[in-house]
Amino acid sequence: MNNNDILKKLRIALSLQDTDIIEILKLADFEITKTELNALFRKEGHRNYKSCGDQLLRRFLNGLIVYQRGERKSEIKKQKITLLRKKRS
């Protein structure tokens, strides 16, 4: 089983639409177009097939955590502190 299969199975199990997956990847700071996303769900022999790399799957899983649970409070605090430091500079 490869990363494409894992992504397909998660999509079906969680009833996710293309827009949901794009939003989840944005939560993990990963931009992808709908065309690129559809290439991941093609059959392996198709001319527009694209292999799902480890980084994309990792980002999807990290984004899925934020999508399902929300951001960690500690991460939000770190971001606020970073923003305050930047404003002071």
* Percent of the chain predicted with pLDDT > 70: 81
Quick one: which of 51, 24, 19, 49 has its CA closest to 34? 19
pLDDT at site 76: 63
**Would you state the torsion angle of the CA atoms of residues 73, 75, 79, 82, taken in this order, to the nearest 10 degrees?**
120
- Average pLDDT score over the chain: 88
Indicate whether this model's pTM tops 0.85.
no
Q: What is the pLDDT of residues 62-77, one digit of tens each?
A: 999 988 887 766 666 6
